[in-house]
Structure 1
Amino acid sequence: MALRADWLPALTAFESAARHQNFAHAAEELHLTASAVSHHVRKLEARLGVALFQRHARGVALTAEGRQLADAAGIALADVEGVLRHLRSARDGQRVRITTLHSLTYTWLMPRLPQFAAAHPDIALSVDTEIALTRFDDGGPDLGIRHGPGHWPGLSAHYLMDDSLFPVASPRYPDLARIAGARDIAAQTLIADHSHQGWHDWFRAAGVHGAKLEERYVFRDSTDALNAAAHGLGIALARARIATPYLADGRLRRLPGPALPARWHYYIVHPAHRRLRPAARVFVDWLLALPKD
């Protein structure tokens, strides 16, 4: 007798019922009703022409024929599950899980990812842009890109690139024509974010002292601050890596004043206690080889 595809639901229901010796428990495992499991089993018994279970008031028990089929079905389904698990593992082995900053992903990483996709079409990426520092537990991300001092407990860190800060505003900003130098910026509407360096650091570097600064608008994320500036809300202190696409397409214009070297840099990080998987290693090498101009 040939095994047809429409036998598989009945065999699956039977195998679960035989393993649990209980239709209700099988139904819970398979997300079915107990009557649906019973129907599948009776359909299988009718096709085979044998009783697979003895039914009694306290429940069910396998017949000799039922035990024979249960053993074979259990082995077969376990073999299939093993192959499926192997295939999923092989697929996941080609997926790199990355945690990074939303601002850097949106403005620097995303425009470059098509290059990686073209060079490595077999590697899939999962990108998490949570602001909070992600834990690199087992089952967590393979690697991350962080902005910081370059040393974190339990992580290996590889220098990726530096950064600098300078003021930017929309070409439509109302007082743009009046800004000739850094001191003129101090009298304008200032936009800030939660970066570790801010307007006070920049004005100090620009030689502006004693000015009363008012950060009218403060955003948690750097891209939100740049978007606010692009809409003419005020003047933002931009990180060069993040501001590049805004400057390139004309949404923002760099204002007079120095570029303040960032105190912190960008690093690729991954757990020090485990070796990077091959696909993750490929992605790290690709990042490190990117032009940083």
Structure 2
Amino acid sequence: MALRSDWLPTLAAFESAARHQNFAHAAEELHLTASAVSHHVRKLEARLGVTLFQRHARGVSLTAEGRQLADAAGNALADLEGTLRQLRAGRQQAVQLRITTLHSLTYSWLSPRLPRFAAAHPEVGLSFETEAGLARFDDTGPDLGIRHGPGHWPGLSAHFLMDECLFPVAAPSLPGADDVRAPADIAPLPLIGDFARQGWPDWFRAAGLHGQLPDERYRFTDSTGALQAAAQGLGAVLARERIVTPFLADGRLRRLPGPALPGRWSYHVVYPAHRRLRPAAQAFVRWLLGDVAEHGP
């Protein structure tokens, strides 16, 4: 089927309605009326001979065919938008991409992977924002983020990145570390914690040590700070698998006996559902998910 020029406004109206799951919001974005957006969608459904939206009392939702077309239309329009922007500028410019994520994940897990992204996309610059608070994805906010959580946040699209698990580690220099033979031997050690909702009490229960009250001598907001303190021999820390890898690799920390506790939450790539990703952001998301698939988490 040849794609005629009069398909473009129809596809643009459908793509916006698919992102918002709401004809009125799409109309506001496109400076149209809701009835005009509805007309475009019905015209597209008639041409294709498929139903793209299920209409119900609470609004609309995409059908399987609608989701398939929405993915293709979103990618195509974002690529076209990026090309038009470059042509208007009159020259190729480096694109700066803003990413919000955790400091610990950036330091230990993401940074070692970035040379592969730089080699594949030298035209894209990256700006990382690692504040502890959750970023707001408004018009002046970051393009996308990597969040640690349940996988669903209001107003955000989320792609699963990887799971995690937690296990105890300590520096070889920690007094008493050489005498640890079983999980029960960890309890008398000075312990280091962070402000995460899953910590030493959960691990002790998983290890069968019920009623054990952890002696957390030191607490840190960020996991990297807790690992650095453990590397200095201050105590044992419950480490996150994805964050502790470089500390284990260079011998600053070593794993102690005991089970690996499955993480209650996972890592996800997120971005605002109400607007299309810029081509550079699309490229980063595709690269990151592909890099994890190829090289492992």
Same fold (TM over 0.5): yes
Could you say if the C-alpha distance between residues 89 and 241 of structure 1 is closer, same or farther in structure 2, counting changes exceeding 3 Å? farther
SS in 1 for 2:233: coil
Percent identity reads 64
**CA positional deviation for 1:88:** 9.9
d(CA) in 2 for partners of 1:167, 1:273: 41
**CA positional deviation for 1:222:** 0.4
Which residue does the alignment assign to 2:270?
Answer: 269
Could you say if the C-alpha distance between residues 217 and 89 of structure 1 is closer, same or farther in structure 2, counting changes exceeding 3 Å? farther
Amino acid at match of 1:285: R
**CA positional deviation for 1:140:** 1.4
**CA positional deviation for 1:139:** 2.4
d(CA) in 2 for partners of 1:200, 1:113: 35
Partners of 1:164 and 1:240 within 8 A in 2: yes
Q: Does 1:91 align with 2:93?
A: yes
Structure 1 alignment gaps of length 5 or more: 1-82
SS in 2 for 1:156: strand
Deviations 1:214-272 (A, max 9, x none): 11101010000000000000000000000001001111000000000001000000000
**CA positional deviation for 1:176:** 1.1
Partners of 1:161 and 1:292 within 8 A in 2: no
Partners of 2:201 and 2:213 within 8 A in 1: no
Amino acid at match of 1:114: P
Which residue does the alignment assign to 2:252?
Answer: 251
d(CA) in 2 for partners of 1:147, 1:185: 27
Which residue does the alignment assign to 1:288?
Answer: 289
Amino acid at match of 1:91: Q
Structure 1 residues 28-177: aligned runs within 5 Å: 87=89, 91=93, 94-177=95-178
Structure 2 alignment gaps of length 5 or more: 1-84
Partners of 2:169 and 2:239 within 8 A in 1: yes
**CA positional deviation for 1:182:** 0.6
d(CA) in 2 for partners of 1:185, 1:253: 13
Which residue does the alignment assign to 2:21?
Answer: none
- Count of matched residue positions in the alignment of Structure 1 and Structure 2: 210
**CA positional deviation for 1:284:** 0.2
d(CA) in 1 for partners of 2:90, 2:265: 39
Could you say if the C-alpha distance between residues 99 and 90 of structure 1 is closer, same or farther in structure 2, counting changes exceeding 3 Å? farther
d(CA) in 2 for partners of 1:87, 1:228: 49
Q: Does 1:213 align with 2:214?
A: yes
Choose 1 or 2 for highest CA Rg. Answer: 1
Amino acid at match of 2:296: K
Report the TM-score when normalising by structure 1.
0.69
d(CA) in 2 for partners of 1:118, 1:235: 38
Root-mean-square deviation over aligned CA pairs: 2.0
Partners of 1:159 and 1:266 within 8 A in 2: yes
Deviations 1:132-179 (A, max 9, x none): 000001021110000000111100000000000000000111111111
d(CA) in 2 for partners of 1:256, 1:88: 61
Would you identify which runs of 4 or more consecutive aligned residues in structure 1 move more than 2 Å?
86-92
